[in-house]
């Protein structure tokens, strides 16, 4: 009876350790994906507005595959009734084998005043 209780306790401890390691791995992956997306987004935003691609493209940064999708859009500025023309940039960060989306982010890049 005691050996069964001991075996159950050992299995429970091993399960807890394994779950903790999995959470740590997922957190590390999220941070790395966020840094990769930030790097790509910075490269896009620092371009001249007219040089932002208007078509989807793929890139790879830091071991992640990143899908870039632009969409022209007007955005309303809350409270002052102004519409701003620009491009919504969407980044989808995926694992190297394309099996899973790790992170998705969106940023509005306003067009310069005409």
pLDDT in tens, 40-89: 999 888 888 888 888 899 999 889 999 999 988 888 877 788 888 889 99
CA–CA separation, 114 and 110 (whole Å): 12
Q: What is the pLDDT of residues 77-100, one digit of tens each?
A: 777 888 888 899 999 999 988 889
Structural domains of the chain, count: 1
pLDDT at site 18: 75
Give residue 10's domain range: 2-110
Cβ(31)–Cβ(25) under 8 Å?
A: no
Query: How many residues are listed for the chain in this entry?
Result: 114
């Amino acid at each position: 009876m005691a050996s069964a209780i001991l075996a159950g306790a050992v299995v429970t401890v091993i399960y807890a350790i394994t779950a903790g390691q999995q959470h740590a791995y997922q957190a590390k992956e999220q941070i790395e994906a966020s840094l990769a997306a930030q790097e790509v987004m910075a490269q896009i935003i620092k371009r001249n507005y007219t040089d932002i691609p208007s078509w989807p493209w793929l890139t790879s940064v830091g071991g992640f595959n990143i899908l870039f999708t632009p969409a022209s859009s007007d955005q309303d500025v809350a409270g002052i009734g102004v519409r701003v023309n620009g491009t919504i940039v969407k980044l989808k960060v995926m694992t190297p084998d394309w099996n899973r989306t790790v992170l998705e982010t969106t940023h509005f890049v306003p067009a310069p005043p005409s």
